[in-house]
Structure 1
Amino acid sequence: MLEWDYTVLISLTLILAGQDVADIMKWLDIYRLVENGMNFLDAWSHIDINTIRKNETLQFFDNKIRIIYSLLGSVNIQRNDESTTLGNDDFFILSNATRYELSQMKGKVYYFALDYFRGNMSEVEYIFQGDSVNKVKGSDFEVSQSLKQLLLFKATGSTLSNSRLYEEYFSLISILESYYSAEIKFKNKKNGRIKIEDLKIYIDNYFDRDLTLTNLAQKMFVSEQYLSKLFKEEVGIGISEYIIRKRLEKVRSFLTETELSITDIAFSAGFSNINSFNRLFKKYQGLTPSDYRSETKKNVVISSKPNQQVEDDFSDVKEFIENDLKESKSSIIQISTANASPYHHDKLMINLGAAEDLLHRSYIKTVKPISQYAEFRYGRVWGLISQSILTEHDGFFDFAKVDEVLQAILDLGLKPFIELGIKGKVIHGANRKIIKQSLLSLPNQSMENLLNRYSILVEHCIEKFGYDEVTNWIFEVWKPNKMVLGAVDQLSLGQFDYKGKTIDITSNEGYLSFFTFIYQRIKGILPGVKIGGCGLSVGIEGRETDDLLASWAKNGVGPDFLSLYVFPMDIVKERTLHNSDFYISPDSDYLIRTVKNVKDYLKQIDWERPIFITEFNVTISGRDIINDTSFKGAYILKNTLPIIDQVDLLGYWQLSDFSSTAIDVANDEIFGGSGIITKSGIPKPAFYAFDFLSSLGSEVLYLSDGLIVTRDKQKIQVLAYHYCHLNSQYYYVDEKVFDKNNIGDMFEQDGISKFEIILTELTSDKPYQMRKRKMGVGNGAILGEANLFSSTSNYRSDEVDYLIHRCLPTLSRDSFKAGPEGLRVRFELQPHDMIFIEISQ
């Protein structure tokens, strides 16, 4: 009651004094800080800075924010099996109760401990995490500048005012709260396993509180019996046991490092009864607390504060910091419009689907309106030589369906990219379940008859569409994987009769013969056309990939291009879990690394070829909710922008959810299909990623992770995104537990990305127009709009039209004047956001 009475008294006093509500709230915040122990007369009592001079082990047990900062030099930080090396101007935020090994110390490295005043146990708690090495953010610069400023204040000494120091202190705390804090949420709708991960994090940070099974169960919206059972199943020990072990970690540390009384240490760790504490300690350690202290004092190992054998002296870095702060006032990216390199719009391809899909009017009707926005050069199709498409009767061929499919591709403004192998249509669901399959059918398994079909197909295309037109098309020959054919029980599809012998095209030798036959047959008719293969699933086929490429390099007939399928599947997780699924790799740069590895190997065997990525996506599944999220937009930009100059063609899997539709989702519009639009044409964030890419200019002025700036005639284009990869909950929880209501729990949430750009040559007095389109969780993304509209995914045609017009990027336009340094552009992005800005006069 006392705190409430004083709060009311302060509020009434300020109201009578004429203060507005905002000012009253500020004063109340200050009052609460004082009540919680903040000393406004001495700012340094809340800021501790020490020099790290040697290898150390750090572990702490309090609510301070602790940061390792490398000003000039380097340090390696080891945590469990993870290692991070800080270089110049890097920082690392330490987690509570976690043991860190600091080694390989060089130069000026510092340890900051900042008091942080948090409230009591509430529905949402925060932990601080992050660094400037593993996950780079725009705000990293602000943190390093603030740490540098505090170091300068420390070196300045008594000449600094208390208010100025507090200003910097609160500024740093504000940045850390905004961009480096993670919420520990206990949502009622979360899956049980996810809740246990959250609970462990919560206990690790707040084990010194009055934690009981009762209040933890209430916090998690479950019964005590259920929580106790689930926790033991997931962790291996009970909740009480887990809490005791965490508390004893702190006790052991404090007994070794401090001179505090055993009673004070026990209470600070969360033990409320000294007698039960003594019994527990002896049970776990085999010694009484006093005996343990005596023994371990002889050999101190762990410290929660760096060893201070030498008094800290910051004067030697004072001049360097002063000069550095003068040179870098903010995290501004200065871009000159004079420096430009070409940007290649013509390297994008979209997978349209199996040939049979393009025969459906509903498919063509829904995809045609969007073709004017996302500009692709090629549209890939397969199954064109199937008996169901290219029908043969007594030696005569019916080309009606073939013509319809190819004309549909051309009507979309695309060049046909035709896969000539025996690839059929397979829709994958969860746990590798095949939901639907339409296998490629042939009149027989005669290689000569198959080659004749190819010849007749190409000759007909030339007659129908013209020699010059077909020369600009691309043909690909897929090498079927024995595992894939075995999964659909069709191994015989890979066996062909040729001159009395059987050729198995799933083998390296058989495929090379198969490709050579097709290559020579088509080139004899159309010498200028590109023919390549073989759809290598890099990372899945392993050593077989290298063996095939090495053999192909020695073969007399090589491909005009090498085609790759890149789906970042986590093979390790698939092999370690009982119900294997298509798990996504934790490597957020999987595509980039894959291309680099292939190109390096081709160079090694002296057989360099153009690289076509004919299929890429984050998952092969057509029933994964991740396909509908805002994550996919940022994923496409992150993987397309840095790779576009490293490959000759980049093909996304795939255009429409129509190609993933089967009886199980016949009535659903949103079901995790792999398209960039739904089956009825509602655009997803993935669609707008390609729309934004297509809107870029022809010259690149600046390119980095998260940002590209281009120029086209009199306009400047800025495209930025905030990519957040999958988090630990995805890798430790079954994928199927996530749905459109809790999908956000799958991803890292690393705060807001801030951007500030100066276009140095734009200095005209005339105002510049900035047109901004923004797509993300709160900016037109399909899942958010669909959830607002209805709890179901079954829509009438007028409701589909409504959502098509709702699922749009937010649009704004403003006028700005340039300063003497150029035109300044500022914006912020939430996780998974994308923004496209067009600047003109």
Structure 2
Amino acid sequence: MSNTRKNTNDNTNIPIRVYLNKIKVISSSVQKYVEFLFILKGELGVVINNQRYRLVESDVVLINSGDVYEIHGEGENLILSMQIENDFFTSLVRREQSLFLCNSSINENEHYDDIRSILAKIMYEYSNRNTGYEFKIMSLLYDITYTLNTNFLITEDYSIQNLEVKSSKYAQRINNIVAYIKQNYNQQISLQDVADSQYLTPEYLSKFFKVNMGMTFSKYLNEFRLTQAVKELLRTDDSITKVAMNNGFPNLVAFNKIFKEVYDTTPAEYRNEVRKKTSKSNKIHNEKVESEIMKVDYNQAFEKLTKYVSNEDKSDNKLLEHSLGINVDVEANVETVKPIIHSWRNLINLGYAQDGLRSDLQQHLTNIQDKIKFKYARFQGIFSDEMFNFGEENDNEEYYNFTKIDKLIDFLYSINLKPFIELGNKAKVLNLATDKVMYFKDSSKRHKGFKESLVLLEKFIVHAINRYGINEVSQWYFEIWKEGDIEYVFWNGDFEKYLKNFQSYYNIIKRIVPGAKVGGPGFNPEVNMKWFDEFLNQVKKTGIQLDFLSISIYPYELIEDSKTEQASDKDRNKAYKKGEYLPHLLPSKDKNYSKVRLDKIRKMIKTSGTSIPEIHVTEYNSSISHRHPANDTTFKATFITKNILDNLDEIDSFGYWFCSDISGELKDSKNLLYGDMGLISANGINKPGFYAYEMLSKLGNDLIQKGDGYIITKKSSYNYEIITYNYKHFDYFYCLKEETPVSLEQYYNIYENQQYLNINIALKGIKSGRYRIKKYTLNREHGSIFDEWLNMNAIYNIKRDEIDYLKQICIPKQTVFYSESIDELKLESCLSPHEVNLYEITFEYS
């Protein structure tokens, strides 16, 4: 079915493609691969070489390479399809024209269960991509080929798929006759020839064949020849006469007569019509069927597949882990600790400076600061028209009015936040999806030249010192962002202008306030990693000093057009500027993306010999989209928890983008939720991401132990804090596509699995006695505004009293219990997908 989907082969060497689809219709096509269809749910109507079949749940069918087929879905269905490259398959079976009858809708065979089991295991390995999965898949391909060769090869003729041997007593004789026809159909054979091969008389053979096969020998032979001729007719460009002779027809007249009896047209007309339909369906149905792929319920698919796997295989390939859960045992000695400073609390993103003057956003940020207590607030557009009044006095000397900027910074100080200022004439940008971006107007209508911008910055620094004092401004951060050379974000390797401008900004700031930190460039590793070495080299070569490196982390992989990949840098840049071959982003399949990228960046800095004292992740999130349901769900809570703990204290800040949904309001924001990135909804309801931060803020300053899914800390003597979480990454199939809209009801189906995580923790060396344990539970039932909104039918015209109701109920669940310990305290945490637990453990003095 290659005409119905885009290529999802991710450059691995395995010779298969596996899909989960809901199929409506696939027009008449010639099969280019060897393809299995496995019906997991619903029904399909399938036509193969002019024969019609009705497939229901659990049916499996093989479409041979060269077969002419079409498919019609009936109602809701869920289909697993696996395509095997034809050259690879032919090399395995070692026969150029091998055909197989594997169609469970027309006969019974115990080996169909073997086929189902192998397909289920291949699906598991293909989707999970564990280390060495390619070897496992290859072994399974050999298994399925062996099963086909030994059990489904002999009755390959599709013209007899609806026929049934009347008596099993004569099954072997029928098989022998069919085998003889298979081997000799392309020659001039007669009833006498076949009778002689079976040591029978022609009269007996004729009667025997008709009784047991339901048709005469001559009719069967002609239809078999016709079936093979049709394959050759569509597979090759040979003349009609040559096709007829190659398949045993005595002449063209006989071939045309038999062909027209079956297909009601001539061979030439049939060839032209099918090829025309195939070409047309390649264009028309590709997008139509592709659009259905993302609506597949992957969790339901895996539930369906598990019943086809034996108990031995279930324990071997862990296909059932998603339902049975994973058990993790943790032993930690509470006396072995090291200090942690929680550098992630150094930064939160306010967003755009003008939004920071809104009273509702200020209330949201006050709420965040009251519970979590960040150190710096980062904002953009400080010199935009909305923030800065720029005019002239009567003597034509320019004057500067920083009143609005003062109001913003005064507010930040009132809630114990210091400014982290991104400088530059940066436009406000909202990504609605990876391929759809809204660029707002430039941050200043009045164009300021470079020299004018330096004067403005100098005036502001002097003003800030006079207002806040040199000691305070010395603690501020100034980030000089580098705008992309292509499409706003893509670098082209030329950093001369940026570094020259950076040095000018740096000199102005440092001359007035030497203690302030100046850095940049807002590096995006997902799109500009290939230029980072060159950037470091030019920084070192010019002798420019960065007080800090600023990075934005969004987990995407850059995919370029194949022509672009092969082009030179010069030609690539020309193509970019013309709007040709622009790269696009796909969600990364790497659940450890941030740690892997940051480790690589630190290594590159060290290798380059460049001295950069601090590294700040000034922006991070799970998506660049401001309209993605992930931003509203409990997924975001585990995403935040995992990324912060994976990189705990390894960088100088980890700035979440951003604090409130207010910053991303558009016309669609009349809904309660619209998929924006804030920790708090526009209506002031705390989202799961907020509660993740609140839980993290309760951790102690002594680290006992951390690992995948947990962290154990100590706050004071005999007081311990534990966070456990069950992170689920986007599944493999979701990561093969640009972020496409997913219905709210189906949203939780785009993750890798639904397995529970059971973490059993034993705290060793603990003081004997009684402990009070307070547990906070954040999951879909407790603390999820997204799920509570769904329970209210996702209404858009929500009222004030309903908002107040949601504010009251959208909170984590709190439970308290006691545990006795003698040198060891045991704790069991059972986590559903996307769940976070916090345990506050306090010794009870008697």
Q: Same fold (TM over 0.5)?
A: yes
Query: Once the 2 structures are TM-superposed, how far is the Cα of residue 633 of structure 1 from its aligned partner?
Result: 1.1
CA distance in 2, matches of 1:741, 1:574: 34
Deviations 1:809-830 (A, max 9, x none): 1110001111x34111112001
2:838 counterpart letter in structure 1: F
The equivalent position to 2:616 in structure 1, one of 608, 612, 619, is 612
CA distance 1:447–1:264, shift in 2 (3 Å): closer
Instruction: State the SS of the aligned residue for 1:697.
Output: coil
Preserved CA contact (<8 Å) 1:729 1:745: no
Q: Distance in 2 between matches of 1:775 and 1:570?
A: 30
Counterparts of 1:75-474 in structure 2, within 5 Å, are: 81=12, 203=38, 213=54, 215-216=56-57, 225-226=72-73, 244=103, 250=115, 332-348=329-345, 349-394=347-392, 395-435=398-438, 437-441=440-444, 443-474=446-477
2:556/2:586 contact within 8 Å kept? yes
Shift of 1:568: 1.4
Q: 1:733 to 1:347 in 2, by over 3 A?
A: closer
How big is the alpha-carbon RMSD for the aligned residues of Structure 1 and Structure 2?
Answer: 4.8
Give the 3-state SS of the residue equivalent to 2:623 in structure 1: coil
Length-normalised TM-score, structure 1: 0.62
Q: State the Cα distance separating 1:704 from its structure 2 match.
A: 0.6
Q: Which residue of 2 aligns with 1:716?
A: 720
Counterpart in the other structure of 1:623: 627
Whole-angstrom CA distance in 2 between matches of 1:443 and 1:622: 28
Q: How far off its partner does 1:432 sit?
A: 2.7
Percent of residue pairs bearing the same amino acid type: 24
Equivalent of residue 757 in structure 2, options 718, 735, 753: 753
Q: How far apart are the structure 1 equivalents of 2:716 and 2:181?
A: 74
Q: 2:744 aligns to what SS in structure 1? A: coil
Matches within 5 A, 1:629-644: 629-644=633-648
User: CA shift at 1:204, angstroms?
Assistant: 7.8
Unmatched tracts of structure 2, length 5 or more: 1-9, 26-34, 47-52, 61-69, 85-98, 105-110, 117-141, 166-170, 186-308, 311-326, 393-397, 565-580
Structure-2 residue corresponding to 1:544? 531
Q: Which residue of 2 aligns with 1:777?
A: 780
User: C-alpha distance in 1, partners of 2:41/2:112?
Assistant: 10
**Distance between the aligned counterparts of 2:177 and 2:539, measured in 1?**
68
Does 1:524 pair with 2:511?
Answer: yes
Of stretches 750-759 and 209-218 in structure 1, the one that deviates more from structure 2 is 209-218
How far off is 1:571 after superposition?
Answer: 1.6
Is 2:727 the partner of 1:726?
Answer: no
Secondary structure at 1:434 match in 2: strand
The answer as to whether partners of 2:629 and 2:744 remain within 8 angstroms in 1 is yes
Residue segments in structure 1 that go unaligned for 5+ positions in a row: 1-78, 84-97, 100-183, 194-199, 289-303, 306-329, 488-503
1:429 shift after superposition: 0.8
Q: Give the equivalent residue in structure 1 for 2:480.
A: 477
Q: Deviations for 1:771-814, whole angstroms, at most 9, x for unmatched residues? A: 00011122221211111123323422222222122211111000
1:762 to 757, 761, 766: 766
SS at match of 1:531: strand
Partner of 1:524, secondary structure, is: helix
Secondary structure (helix, strand or coil) at the match of 2:547 reads coil
> Is the 2:100–2:155 Cα contact (8 Å) retained in structure 1?
no
- Deviation at residue 764 of structure 1 after TM alignment: 2.2
Q: Which amino acid aligns with 2:509?
A: I
Match for residue 562 of structure 1?
549
Residue 334 of structure 1 aligns to which amino acid in structure 2?
E
Q: Which amino acid aligns with 1:225?
A: H
Q: Which residue matches 1:836?
A: 838
Q: Is the 8 A contact 1:574 1:583 kept in 2?
A: no
| Residues 555 and 754 of structure 1: CA distance in aligned 2, closer, same or farther (over 3 Å) | same
Match of 2:131 in 1: none
Whether contact under 8 Å (1:203, 1:243) holds in the other structure is no
Deviation at 1:215, TM superposition (A): 3.3
CA drift at 1:621? 1.0
Q: Secondary structure in 2 aligned to 1:670? A: coil
CA distance in 2, matches of 1:262, 1:236: 18
- Aligned-pair CA distance for 1:391: 1.6
Larger-Rg structure: 2
1:672 Cα deviation after fit: 0.7
- SS at structure 1 position matched to 2:711: strand
How far is 1:262 from its partner? Answer: 7.9
**Which digits, 9 at most, give the CA deviation of each residue in 1:400-458, with x for residues without a partner?**
11011112222332211110122221111135323351422164342211001111111
Match for residue 20 of structure 1?
none
What's the CA shift for 1:367? 3.1
- Counterpart secondary structure, 1:539: helix
Correspondence for 1:817: 820
* Partner SS state of residue 827, structure 2: strand
CA distance in 1 between counterparts of 2:407 and 2:329 reads 53
CA distance in 2 between partners of 1:731 and 1:747 (Å): 10
Structure 2 CA distance for partners of 1:801 and 1:286, relative to 1, 3 Å: farther
The answer to whether the Cα contact below 8 Å between 2:39 and 2:57 also exists between their aligned partners in 1 is no
What residue number does 1:51 align with?
none
User: How far apart, in 2, do the equivalents of 1:692 and 1:467 lie?
Assistant: 35
Q: CA 1:191–1:752 in structure 2 vs 1: closer, same or farther (change >3 Å)? A: farther
Count of residues in Structure 1 that have an aligned counterpart in Structure 2: 593
Could you tell me how far apart the structure 2 residues matched to 1:285 and 1:572 are?
48
1:744 to 742, 748, 754: 748
Residues 669 and 678, structure 1, Cα contact 8 Å, conserved in 2: yes
CA distance in 2, matches of 1:723, 1:546: 33
The DSSP-based 3-state class of the residue aligned with 1:784 is helix
Change (3 A) 1:749 1:443: same
Residue aligned with 1:225, SS: strand
Deviations 1:257-289 (A, max 9, x none): 8999889999xxxx996669979998999799x
Paired with 1:658 and 1:340, the residues of 2 have a C-alpha distance of 41
Q: Report if aligned partners of 1:615, 1:653 keep a CA contact under 8 Å in 2.
A: yes
1:699-730 deviations in Å (ceiling 9; x for gaps): 10011111100001141000011111111331
Q: For residues 606-647 of structure 1, give each alpha carbon's deviation from its aligned partner in whole angstroms, at most 9, with x where no partner exists.
A: 114221110111111101112112111111111111212221
3-state secondary structure, aligned to 2:497:
helix
Question: Structure 1 residues 750, 742: CA separation in 2 closer, same or farther (over 3 Å shift)?
Answer: closer
Corresponding residue for residue 293 of structure 1: none
Scaled by the length of structure 2, the TM-score of the pair is 0.62
Structure 1's 231 and 774: CA in aligned 2 closer, same or farther, altered over 3 A?
A: closer
Match of residue 275 from structure 2: none
Q: Which whole-Å CA distance do the structure 2 matches of 1:476 and 1:347 have between them? A: 18
Structure 2 match to 1:155: none
